[in-house]
């Protein structure tokens, strides 16, 4: 959530940034926020004055009673009752105005970083770099949804029987390959200084609001109405919320955490080859990395996170490219995002496997996550997160890119984790 003070002092930057996101009439939107805040301040001033007068009068009643001036004391009491009613009315008006202000702030996405370009959608994203050679496969190549049937390693029909579409069952070497990816990603994260966390996979409403999933993505999350808990869409949510309502010392920073969790998303896309098989699921596994940084260091950290994710793809021998998302394709809470896409040789297209984002103060403002500087002053921190990595499309690319007439070769780095070199 953006700060009102930020919208006041950086109004033109905010307007330009929201235009990058294709937000209609950003001038009017920001003007509404400032007007609501002015009205809120005016109500607060009135309320403070009434409360101060009420307190002053209350003190005078005791003095009048001690002086035996009961009649005057009763008159003053009547005035106190009148002020109490004024106070009540002002408090209700203030609460209503604060709620209206908060509601509109929830509707405003983060302001893109200066390097983010304008654009309507995915076609306008910038290709920053491309790495690795696209493999040339044998004539009988098939997409992963055919390979998994051939080698009996993932069963979508069984998943439909148990749960429904988008919930695959991993079997035999498919399950072991999932476990290999899990252990490989967590071991690599530890080498890079990320502390491993095992968080809950159910969150409360406050946690969803804290990282921006609520109210923006409410329809995409599985919700238990009875207990008002949500299944997480990513480990970013519980891990970042560990620091909600906290004030950290500079000496504690940066904080680097990694977590493996299953992830749950209600929307599974439309029909077609681009969402077939492992390309899009309701439930999938992922290792997430989260960082909390001082504002001056966060963009350096973003570049380091991007480099780290790329190192994983290199070790998995997967050709990939790095995109910087345009304003129209960027997530609601992000200030800048890099996407990593791997080449799927059988599908002959790029598959997104990681997003690495800097949220600047957007999440920390919601979370009330701050730090004390050397002068004991409090400031909002910057939060970052990234997929390192999501399993399904990585697995799909490994299966497709490494298929041969003999079978599917497992990348060398995964062989000690999987315990086998081939799926045949």
- Three-class HEC string of 229-248: EEECCCCHHHHHHCCCCCEE
CATH number for the domain that contains residue 279:
3.30.930.10
pLDDT digits (tens, 9 = 90+) for 31-79: 999 999 999 999 999 999 999 988 888 777 666 666 766 667 666 667 7
For residues 114-126, average pLDDT: 97
What pLDDT shows up at residue 268? 52
Cα gap 116→126, rounded to integer Å: 9
Domain boundary (53, 72, 106) is at 106
C-alpha span between 111 and 114 (Å, rounded): 9
Could you tell me if 141 and 246 lie in one domain?
yes
Confirm whether 112 is domain-assigned.
no
Residues 245 and 387: their CA atoms lie apart, in Å, by: 25
User: Is the pLDDT higher at 310 or at 270?
Assistant: 310
**Percent residues over pLDDT 90 in the chain:** 88
Q: Tell whether 394 is covered by a domain.
A: yes
Helix, coil or strand: residue 211: helix
Burial bucket for residue 55 (CB in 10 Å: 0-12, 13-18, 19+): exposed
Q: Are residues 196 and 163 in the same domain?
A: yes
Full 3-state SS string of 128-169: EEEECCCCCCCCCCCCHHHHHHHHCCEEHHHHHHHCCCCCCE
Please give the residue range of the domain that contains residue 385.
122-423
Same domain? For 102 and 128 the reply is no
Q: What H or E segment, with its residue span, contains residue 224?
A: strand 223-224
**Pair 30, 150 in one domain:** no
Cβ-proximal residues to 179 (8 Å cutoff; 6+ apart), any chain: 417, 418
Structural domain includes residue 111: no
Q: pLDDT value at position 74?
A: 63
What pLDDT is attached to residue 15? 97
In a domain, 137, yes or no: yes
Residue ending a domain, among 106, 135, 169, is: 106
pLDDT band at 146 (very low <50, low <70, confident <90, very high): very high
What is the share, in percent, of the chain residues with pLDDT greater than 70? Answer: 94
Q: Is residue 64 part of a domain?
A: yes
Residue at which a domain ends, from 58, 82, 106: 106
**What is the tally of structural domains in the chain?**
2
Kindly report the average pLDDT of the chain as a whole number: 94
Average of per-residue pLDDT across 351-357: 98
- Residue 217 in domain: yes
142 and 245 together in one domain: yes
Judge whether 275 lies within some domain: yes
Number of neighbours of residue 92 by Cβ within 10 angstroms: 11
**Each residue's pLDDT tens digit, 193-204:** 999 999 999 999
Asked if 21 and 112 count as a contact pair (C-beta separation under 8 A), the reply is yes
Same domain (yes/no): 147, 37: no
């Amino acid at each position: 959530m953006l700060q009102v003070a930020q919208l006041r002092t950086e109004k033109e930057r905010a307007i330009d940034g929201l235009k990058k996101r294709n937000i209609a009439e950003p001038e009017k939107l920001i003007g509404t926020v400032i007007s609501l805040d002015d009205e809120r301040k005016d109500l607060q001033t009135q309320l403070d004055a009434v409360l101060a007068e009420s307190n002053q009068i209350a003190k005078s009643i005791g003095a009048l009673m001690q002086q035996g001036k009961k009649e005057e004391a009763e008159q003053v009491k009547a005035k106190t009752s009148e002020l109490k009613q004024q106070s009540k009315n002002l408090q209700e008006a203030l609460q209503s105005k604060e709620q209206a202000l908060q509601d509109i702030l929830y509707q405003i996405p983060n302001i893109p970083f200066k390097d983010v370009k304008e654009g309507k959608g995915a076609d306008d994203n910038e290709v920053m770099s491309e790495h690795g050679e696209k493999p040339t496969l044998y004539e009988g190549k098939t997409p992963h949804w055919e390979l998994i049937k051939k080698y009996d390693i993932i069963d979508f029909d069984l998943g439909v029987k148990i749960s429904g579409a988008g919930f695959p069952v991993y079997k035999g070497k498919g399950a072991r390959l999932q476990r290999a990816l899990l252990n490989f990603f967590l071991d690599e994260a530890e080498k890079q200084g990320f502390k491993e966390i095992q968080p809950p996979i159910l969150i409360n409403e406050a946690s969803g609001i804290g990282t921006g999933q609520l109210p923006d993505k409410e329809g995409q999350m599985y919700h238990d109405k009875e207990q008002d808990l949500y299944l997480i869409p990513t480990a970013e949510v519980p891990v970042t919320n560990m620091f909600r309502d906290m004030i950290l010392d500079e000496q504690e920073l940066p904080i680097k955490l990694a977590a493996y969790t299953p992830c749950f998303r209600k929307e599974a896309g439309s029909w077609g080859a681009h969402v077939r098989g492992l390309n899009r699921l309701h439930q999938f596994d992922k290792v997430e990395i989260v960082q909390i940084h001082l504002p001056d260091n966060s963009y350096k950290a973003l570049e380091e996170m991007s480099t780290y994710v790329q190192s994983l793809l290199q070790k998995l021998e997967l050709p990939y490219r790095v995109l910087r998302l345009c304003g129209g394709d960027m997530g609601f809470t992000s200030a800048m995002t890099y996407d990593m896409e791997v080449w799927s040789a059988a599908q002959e297209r790029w598959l997104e496997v990681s997003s690495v984002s800097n949220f600047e103060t957007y999440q920390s403002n919601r979370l009330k996550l701050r730090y004390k500087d050397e002068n004991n002053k409090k400031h909002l921190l910057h939060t970052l997160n990234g997929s390192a990595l999501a399993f399904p499309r990585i697995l799909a690319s490994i299966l497709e890119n490494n298929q041969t007439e003999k079978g599917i070769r497992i990348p060398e780095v995964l062989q000690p984790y999987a315990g086998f070199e081939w799926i045949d």
